[in-house]
């Protein structure tokens, strides 16, 4: 009686090798694996795609759209008219690209970060000084964040200009507005995390607006919810961290899904001149006007991935064009002179300078954003053609111009009044960035120990010792000249060696104050030879 | 389409090359960042020290009513830390002292207890700020580094001594005197009414007399226990022999004897320094 085996090993590939030979078996098996992974494309199909062969019939390149998870989200073909740079400029796609880019770099940075004021800043020092590729990652995450804000804003502007928010795409626009808000707040909430002076004060400026909500009790309550305490501290940082890494990305992903679903359902909006007024033909793409996702759209997208990734990598590495700033540790007691909101909120800061905090900080932004949210529901003009939308486009251009002016007004160049001597010294040794004094080559320090001032003899003497130092005294003199109240005033600078490798710079300005009494402004700056502020 | 594939491949290659360049430079970059950060920490510590510590420890760590910080034995592993039985490093000792202060003090330092500075112990400074100040104080160690085969550097000073008549003083310069009293931390006690010592300035006293005026009267008053016969001698005596005559506060109770350091004449001032300080004090009428 034959015993039944309790265990039997059977490798079908061995049978195949015996039957067909090694080479054929390997080719067939590879093909099989590849077509499972690509949900329908064999090695030969992929090579055909890459070579640019015309699609065979029946077209195997549509299979991944039907069977695969990732490509089932993408249309099988696009209309020829949306394949060129105009009208989309790829801005929507680039917004998603930057979002994904931020998620990847952000996840890696999360490994090295703890959201607590006790260690957050130390984490930055660790990332910068101890983690290989730490600065690189941090720079990429920051430049990607700026890129995402730019792309999302431009995408919205483009959608407005081509009238693509009109029926039937009103809700797509609405979800896009949600995504704009998510983008702005993602970037804004990320600002706080390094816990340096820049983050604390930039975010404080933004958060101070909620405090203005009337009545006062409500404002105070909302402020408490946002900051977690009357001032940013443990609770506030944790809240912003959770918003940044969890809540906002989640909302962003969900609304990206809804937004893109609507884009597919309605089809990519065609250039305004491609269809009759009042018509929307984007969903029905005639056979002769189809560009298939594989290979045309796919290679374009891959090209953009490589192009933008390489560009960003270049900017933060070899090109040395962009680095995420890191200022001194956050200090709730010291407000640096000239703190500003992040650049994309400067227009808000500009509005706040116009007048009332409630009107310009809450009502106006509320009206502007509210107006944008519901734009497609009341702007019902049927034509998307530019010639028929002169009023709307003019208003749009006007808004862009006003925002630019407001952005300028948000910078310290407009309407900030502090004491003149303080401004003069801040121009040389600012609190928010290294500035001219710190950019000076430290090798000069030992040579310039002594007393200096802004007279021409002193500057000439300084130039002989070091042109860079002469330049600095020159700047000192010209900064003093800028202020009427400092007419004829001589600025003094005493340099002394203070400790081993540490130098002390005493700025002294004797001037006549607004009350007619003479006054003295003094500021001491300590600089170490190895401060590594760069710029030399 | 083909150009996109080719350019993409080249771009990918460029990215990999740039990553490799970053990788090669990383160790040097990280080292430079750490070095730069340490240097900036000293800068920040210097600013905090200047704002908070100089009234007791002197403008540049010379000491005053609190110990000298710019001195060899503080940084010597067999020096000060051994004396107080500290088991950790010098840096820990300094960090801990700044953080938690000193509940006890020596009489030399007039029983002035060092306050707690770290927010952990109810002080005003954050932990990172205490670290910055520690880095700044630790930077004094470089002044006292002993090179192989060299003797420990000792500050050389030709002290004036504690006699008020033995040698005549040179002519004094009140401007330098003013600098000296700031540097030595005298103002920590003598600046305002209600300090640990009598206030010097006229606007801080009830009768509007500055130290310069009072010095001229004091030695003639009843109850004076010193040996001075002129204003200059009176000031000199008060500095080099602080206990020769201890005056009363404005409310009539005496200042505590032994609070003012006794070593100005024997260890800390040269004849010219003393003359300059006296010249300055005499201007405070």
Encode chain A (536 residues) as per-residue pLDDT tens digits.
567 777 888 888 888 899 999 999 999 999 999 999 999 899 999 888 877 788 888 888 999 999 999 999 999 999 999 999 999 999 999 999 999 999 999 999 999 999 999 999 999 999 999 999 999 999 999 999 999 999 999 999 999 999 999 989 999 999 999 999 999 999 999 999 999 999 999 888 888 888 888 888 998 899 999 999 888 999 999 999 999 999 999 999 999 999 999 999 999 999 998 888 888 888 889 999 999 998 889 989 999 999 999 999 999 999 999 999 998 899 888 888 888 888 999 998 899 888 888 898 889 999 999 999 999 999 998 899 999 999 999 999 999 999 999 999 988 888 777 788 888 998 899 887 888 899 899 999 999 999 999 999 999 999 999 999 999 999 999 999 988 888 888 999 999 999 989 999 999 999 887 778 888 999 999 999 998 886 43
Specify the pLDDT at position A323: 92
- Does B61 have pLDDT greater than 60? yes
Residue B144: closest CA among chain A residues belongs to which residue? A500
CB B142 within 8 A of CB A501: yes
What count of other Cβ atoms lies within 10 Å of the Cβ of residue A405?
Answer: 13
B128 contacts in chain A (CB < 8 Å):
121-122, 329
User: Inter-chain contact B139–A499, Cβ cutoff 8 Å?
Assistant: yes
CA within 13 Å, CB half, B200: 18
> Minimal CA–CA distance to A364: which of A403, A394, A392?
A403
Q: What is the 3-state secondary structure (H, E, C) of A419-447?
A: CHHHHHHHHHCCCCCCHHHHHCCHHHHHH
Ranking A251-265, B126-140, B164-178 by mean pLDDT, the lowest is B164-178
A499 contacts in chain B (CB < 8 Å):
42, 46, 60, 136, 139-140, 142-143
CATH assignment of B13-144? 1.10.760.10
Q: What DSSP designation does B134 have?
A: H
Residue of B2, B8, B14 lying closest to A302 (CB–CB): B8
Specify the pLDDT at position A369: 94
Average pLDDT over residues B27-47: 93
User: Inter-chain contact A498–B60, Cβ cutoff 8 Å?
Assistant: yes
User: Inter-chain contact A310–B12, Cβ cutoff 8 Å?
Assistant: yes
Pairing of strands A450-453, A502-512: unpaired
Q: Which is more confidently placed, B158 or A201?
A: A201
Q: Using a pLDDT cut of 90, give the percent of chain B over it.
A: 34
Q: What DSSP designation does B268 have?
A: I
Specify the pLDDT at position A178: 97
Residue B22: closest CA among chain A residues belongs to which residue? A317
Q: Name the pTM for this structure.
A: 0.81
Q: Which residues contact A121 (CB under 8 A, 6 or more apart)?
A: A194, A195, A196, A329, A330, B128
- Does B21 have pLDDT greater than 70? yes
Question: Does B7 contact chain A (CB < 8 Å)?
Answer: yes
Name the pLDDT band for B148 (thresholds 50, 70, 90). Answer: low
Residue of A296, A303, A500 lying closest to B139 (CB–CB): A500
Residue B51: closest CA among chain A residues belongs to which residue? A524
ipTM over 0.85: yes
Q: Which residues numbered 105-144 in B keep a CB inside 8 Å of some CB on A?
A: 126-129, 136, 139-140, 142-143
Residue of B35, B42, B60 lying closest to A532 (CB–CB): B35
Residue B38: closest CA among chain A residues belongs to which residue? A531
The burial class, CB within 10 Å (0-12 / 13-18 / 19+), for B184 is buried
Residue A11 phi, psi (nearest 5): -105, 110
Q: Which is more confidently placed, A386 or B78?
A: A386
Specify the pLDDT at position A536: 39
Cα separation of the two ends of chain B? 92
B36 contacts in chain A (CB < 8 Å):
530-533
CA distance A314 to chain B (A): 7
Q: Which residues contact A328 (CB under 8 A, 6 or more apart)?
A: A196, A197, B40, B44
B38 contacts in chain A (CB < 8 Å):
530
Question: Does B42 contact chain A (CB < 8 Å)?
Answer: yes
Substitution target in B14, B31, B33, B142 with the highest count of A β-carbons within 10 Å is B33
Q: Which residues numbered 76-95 in A keep a CB inside 8 Å of some CB on B?
A: none
- Does B156 have pLDDT greater than 80? no
A128 contacts in chain B (CB < 8 Å):
30, 33, 37
| Residue where the block lists tokens 């490589």 | A306
Q: Using a pLDDT cut of 70, give the percent of chain B over it.
A: 93
CB B185 within 8 A of CB B67: no
CA distances from B207 to A335, B203, B210, B212, B224 (A): 42, 9, 9, 13, 19
**In angstroms, rounded to a whole number, what is the distance separating the alpha carbons of residues A524 and A504?**
7
CA within 13 Å, CB half, A188: 21
Q: Which residues numbered 271-310 in A keep a CB inside 8 Å of some CB on B?
A: 295-296, 299-300, 302-303, 305-307, 309-310
Q: What is the DSSP string of A243-310?
A: IIIIIHHHHHHHHHHHHHHHHHHH-PPPPGGGS-TT---TTS--GGGEEEIIIIIHHHHHHHHHHHHH
- Does B1 have pLDDT greater than 50? yes
Long-range contacts of A513-519 (CB under 8 A, 24+ apart): A514/A485
CA within 13 Å, CB half, A482: 14
Question: Is the dihedral angle over the CA atoms B7, B12, B17, B19 positive or is it negative?
Answer: positive
For chain A, count helices (H), then strands (E).
21, 6
Partner residues linked to A242 by β-bridges: none
What count of other Cβ atoms lies within 10 Å of the Cβ of residue A199?
Answer: 25
User: Inter-chain contact A299–B36, Cβ cutoff 8 Å?
Assistant: no
**In angstroms, rounded to a whole number, what is the distance separating the alpha carbons of residues A302 and B159?**
80
Q: Coil, strand or helix: which one is A101?
A: helix
- Domain coordinates in residue numbering, chain B: 13-144, 174-283
- Domain coordinates in residue numbering, chain A: 12-77, 83-282+299-328+335-410, 420-528
**In angstroms, rounded to a whole number, what is the distance separating the alpha carbons of residues A446 and A472?**
16
User: Inter-chain contact B38–A499, Cβ cutoff 8 Å?
Assistant: no
CA distance A118 to chain B (A): 8
Specify the pLDDT at position A146: 96
- Does B152 have pLDDT greater than 60? no
CATH assignment of A83-282+299-328+335-410? 1.20.810.10
**In angstroms, rounded to a whole number, what is the distance separating the alpha carbons of residues A268 and A289?**
13
> Minimal CA–CA distance to B91: which of B42, B124, B163?
B42
> Minimal CA–CA distance to A81: which of A295, A282, A270?
A270
């Amino acid at each position: 009686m034959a015993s039944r085996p309790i265990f039997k090993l059977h490798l079908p590939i061995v049978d195949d090798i015996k039957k067909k030979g090694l080479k054929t078996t390997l080719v067939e098996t590879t093909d099989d694996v590849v077509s499972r992974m690509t949900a329908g494309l064999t090695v030969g199909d992929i090579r055909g795609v890459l070579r640019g062969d015309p699609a065979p019939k029946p077209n195997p390149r549509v299979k991944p759209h039907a069977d695969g998870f990732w490509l089932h989200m993408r249309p099988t073909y696009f209309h020829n008219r949306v394949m060129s740079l105009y009208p989309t400029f790829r801005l929507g796609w680039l917004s998603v690209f930057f979002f994904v880019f931020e998620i990847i770099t952000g996840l890696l940075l999360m490994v090295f970060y703890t959201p607590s004021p006790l260690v957050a800043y130390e984490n930055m020092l660790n990332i910068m000084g101890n983690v290989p590729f730490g600065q690189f990652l941090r720079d990429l995450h920051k430049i990607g964040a700026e890129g995402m804000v730019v792309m999302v804003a431009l995408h919205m502007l483009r959608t407005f200009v081509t009238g693509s928010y009109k029926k039937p795409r009103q809700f797509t626009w609405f979800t896009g507005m949600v995504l704009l808000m998510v983008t702005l707040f993602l970037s804004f909430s990320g600002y706080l995390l390094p816990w340096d002076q820049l983050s604390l004060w930039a975010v404080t400026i933004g958060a101070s607006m909620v405090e203005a909500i009337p009545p006062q009790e409500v404002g105070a309550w909302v402020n408490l919810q946002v900051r977690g305490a009357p001032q940013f501290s443990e609770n506030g940082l944790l809240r912003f961290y959770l918003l940044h890494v969890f809540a906002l990305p989640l909302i962003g992903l969900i609304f990206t899904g809804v937004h893109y679903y609507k884009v597919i359902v309605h089809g990519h909006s065609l250039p305004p001149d491609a269809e009759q007024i009042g018509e929307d033909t984007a969903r029905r793409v005639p056979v002769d006007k189809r560009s298939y996702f594989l290979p045309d759209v796919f290679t374009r997208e891959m090209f953009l991935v490589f192009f933008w990734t390489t560009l960003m990598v270049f900017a933060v590495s070899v090109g040395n064009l962009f680095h995420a700033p890191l200022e001194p540790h956050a200090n709730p007691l010291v407000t640096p002179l000239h703190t500003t909101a992040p650049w994309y909120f400067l227009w808000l800061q500009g509005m706040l300078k116009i007048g009332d905090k409630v009107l310009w900080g809450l009502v106006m932004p509320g009206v502007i954003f509210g107006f944008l949210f519901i734009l497609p529901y009341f702007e019902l003009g049927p034509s998307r053609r530019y010639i028929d939308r002169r009023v709307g486009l003019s208003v749009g251009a006007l808004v862009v111009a006003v925002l630019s002016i407001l952005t300028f007004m948000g910078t310290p160049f407009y309407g900030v009044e502090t004491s003149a001597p303080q401004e003069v010294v801040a121009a040389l040794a600012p609190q928010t960035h290294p500035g001219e004094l710190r950019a000076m080559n430290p090798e000069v320090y030992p040579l310039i120990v002594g007393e200096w001032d802004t007279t021409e003899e002193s500057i000439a003497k300084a130039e002989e010792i070091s042109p860079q130092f002469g330049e600095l005294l020159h700047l000192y003199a010209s900064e003093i000249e800028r202020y009427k109240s400092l007419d004829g005033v001589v600025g003094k600078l005493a340099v002394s060696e203070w400790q081993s490798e540490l130098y002390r710079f005493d700025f002294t300005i004797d001037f006549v104050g607004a009350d007619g009494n003479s006054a003295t402004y003094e500021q001491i700056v300590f600089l170490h030879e190895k401060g590594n502020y760069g710029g030399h | 389409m083909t150009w996109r594939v080719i350019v993409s491949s080249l771009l990918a290659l460029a990215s990999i090359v740039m990553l490799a360049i970053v990788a090669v430079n990383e160790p040097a970059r990280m080292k430079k960042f750490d070095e730069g950060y340490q240097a900036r920490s000293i800068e920040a510590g210097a600013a905090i020290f200047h704002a908070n510590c100089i009234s007791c420890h002197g403008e540049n760590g010379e000491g005053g009513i609190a110990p000298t910080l710019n001195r060899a034995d503080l940084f010597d592993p067999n020096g000060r830390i051994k004396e107080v039985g500290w088991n950790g490093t010098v840096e820990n000792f300094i960090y801990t002292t700044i953080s938690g202060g000193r509940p006890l003090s020596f009489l030399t330092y007039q029983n002035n207890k060092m306050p707690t500075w770290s927010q952990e112990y109810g002080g005003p400074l954050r932990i990172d700020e205490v670290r910055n100040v520690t880095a700044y104080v630790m930077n004094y160690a470089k002044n006292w580094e002993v090179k192989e085969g060299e003797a420990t550097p000792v500050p050389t000073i030709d002290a004036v001594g504690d006699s008020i008549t033995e040698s005549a003083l040179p002519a004094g310069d009140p401007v330098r005197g003013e600098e000296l009293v700031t540097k030595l931390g005298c103002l920590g006690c003598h600046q305002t009414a209600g300090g640990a010592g009598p206030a010097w300035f006229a606007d801080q006293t009830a009768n509007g007399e500055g130290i310069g005026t009072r010095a001229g009267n004091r030695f003639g008053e009843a109850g004076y226990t010193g040996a001075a016969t002129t204003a200059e001698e009176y000031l000199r005596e008060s500095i080099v022999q602080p206990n020769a005559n201890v005056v009363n506060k404005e409310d009539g109770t005496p200042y505590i004897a032994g609070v003012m350091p006794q070593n100005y004449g024997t260890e800390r001032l040269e004849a010219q320094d003393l003359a300059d300080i006296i010249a300055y004090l005499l201007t405070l009428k």
